[in-house]
Amino acid sequence: MVKQRWSVHTATDAQQGMLEEMQDSQTSKSSQPCQCDKTCLKDCVFTIDPSTARDLDDALSCKPLADGNAYEVGVHIADVSYFVPEESDLDKVAAERATSVYLVQKVVPMLPRPLCEELCSLNPMTDKLTFSVIWTLTPEGKILDEWFGRTVIRSCTKLSYEHAQSMIESPTERIPGTELPPVSPEHSSDEVHQAVLSLHRIAKELRKQRFSDGALRLDQINI
């Protein structure tokens, strides 16, 4: 049984063999239909991460419903289980690592880079397997309905935290396209901007409700 750990920079013969076996497996899987409950390929789905992030493991979506009194909000998490079978060597090594470790100048990934940065990463304008929760919410954040299941998404763009903050701080201004990452032709930067603003408004309502219900706020300087 292969129990070798992949290095931060290089791979041993055993590690390389594990990675090649994984890639061969994914090549064969690519021709097989995946089992999913819903496709979200036409939805305005996007990621928000640090500008240097390469492992994009979660995405968001938000669209107003036809009646104008509710939103459909989705959180989509990369479905690693499709690529890493339970109790496989990759699964066991990843379980030992438990998490990726972020250092000042490098990242020690929990999974091999071809997985966490390519196959599983929710990179824009490519179809990706995810596990999603989709809520129907009022503008005040009240849950009217919810759905959980396996999905296929296609992120339309990769936003950074700075991009999202600029949209929030300039709600009525159109941010020049040169200051934003590419957006897929099926969607527009204005559509993404409105989705970010809608999510921000709902988040503010939920935060206000939390404090009304007695949530503790700690305004403490972090050291």
In a domain, 222, yes or no: no
In order along its 223 residues, the chain shows pLDDT tens digits of 333 454 544 444 445 555 665 655 555 555 455 667 888 888 999 999 999 888 999 999 999 998 888 999 999 999 998 888 888 888 898 899 989 898 888 888 888 888 888 999 999 999 999 999 999 999 999 999 999 999 999 999 999 999 999 999 989 988 887 888 999 999 999 999 999 999 999 999 999 999 888 888 777 776 5
Residue 200 lies in a domain: yes
Structure tokens at 200: 């921000």
Whether 44 is in a domain gets the answer yes
Tell whether 129 is covered by a domain: yes
Residue 175 lies in a domain: yes
Residue 181's domain comprises: 36-85+118-212
Query: HSE-up of 200 (CA within 13 Å, CB side)?
Result: 16
Cα-atom radius of gyration of the chain, to the nearest Å? 20
Q: In total, how many domains does the chain have?
A: 1
Cα–Cα distance for residue pair 154/167, rounded to 1 Å: 22
**Residue 154's Cα: distance from chain center in Å?**
11
Q: What does pTM read for this prediction? A: 0.83
172 within some domain: yes
Is residue 5 in a domain?
no
* pLDDT, tens only, 111-155: 888 888 899 999 999 999 999 999 999 999 999 999 999 999 999
* Stretch (H or E) spanning 15: helix 13-29
- Whether residue 13 lies inside any domain: the answer is no
Pairwise CA distance, residues 50 & 37, whole Å: 30
Least Cα distance to 96 among 6, 21, 23, 10 occurs for: 6
Element (H, E) at 74: strand 71-78
